[in-house]
Amino acid sequence: MLRQFGKYLLAAAVLLGGCTAADTSLEQENMKVFRYNQAEGLSSLDPAFARNQANVWAATNLYNGLFRLNEDMYPEKDLAEAWDVSEDGTVYTFTIRRGVYFHDSEVFEGGKGREVKAQDFVYSFKRILDPATASTGAWIFSDKVKRNAAGTGYDENWIEAVEDYKLVLRLEKPFAPLMEIFTMPYTYVVPKEAVDKWGKDFRKHAVGTGPFKLKTWDEGNSLVMLKNTNYFKKDDVGKQLPYLDAVMVSFIQDRNQELLSFQQGKLDFMSGLQANSVDLVLDKNGEVRNELKGRFVVQKVPYLNTEYIGFQLDKAAYKEANHPVLDKRFRQAMSYAINREELIKYVYNNLGTPGTAGIIPPAIKYFKENSTKGYDYQPAKAEALLKEAGYPGGKGLPAIKLYTTVQSKAMVEYLQKQWAAVGIPVEIEINMTPTHQELIDNSKVNFFRGSWLADYPDAENYLALFHSQHFSPSGPNKTHFVNPTYDSLYIKSRFESEGFMRLDLYHKMDEIIMQEAPVIVLFYDEVLRLTQNNVTGLEPNAMNILDLERADFMQGGVLAN
**Mean pLDDT value of segment 534-547:** 92
pLDDT for 15 equals: 36
Q: Look over the chain and give the mean of its residue pLDDT values, rounded to a whole number.
A: 89
DSSP three-state, residue 34: strand
User: Is residue 553 within 8 Å of residue 560, measured between CB atoms?
Assistant: yes
Q: Are strands 447-453 and 297-311 parallel, antiparallel or unpaired?
A: antiparallel
pLDDT score recorded for residue 407 = 83
Helix, strand, or coil (residue 166) = strand
Q: Confidence band (pLDDT; 50, 70, 90) for 348?
A: confident
**Residue 33: per-residue pLDDT:** 96
Residues contacting 166, CB < 8 A, separation 6+: 93, 94, 95, 96, 118
Query: What share of the chain in percent tops pLDDT 70?
Result: 92
Asked if 91 and 168 count as a contact pair (C-beta separation under 8 A), the reply is yes
Specify the pLDDT at position 4: 33
Cβ neighbourhood burial of 492 (10 Å; 0-12, 13-18, 19+)? middle
Which residue ranges form the domains of the chain, and what is each CATH number?
1-55+210-268+532-561 (3.40.190.10), 64-203 (3.90.76.10), 308-525 (3.10.105.10)
pTM of the model: 0.81
Q: How confident is the model at residue 253 (pLDDT cuts 50, 70, 90)?
A: confident
* For residues 437-444, average pLDDT: 93
8 Å CB contact between 495 and 476: no
Question: Rounded mean pLDDT of 31-35?
Answer: 94
pLDDT at site 556: 53
Which residue, among 370, 371, 366, has the nearest Cα to 354 in the 3D structure? 370
Look at residue 399 and tell me whether its pLDDT is greater than 90: yes
Rounded-to-integer distance, Cα 354 and Cα 416, Å = 18
- With cut-offs at 50, 70 and 90, classify the pLDDT of residue 60: very high
CB 543 within 8 A of CB 73: yes
What residue type is 69 in one-letter code? L
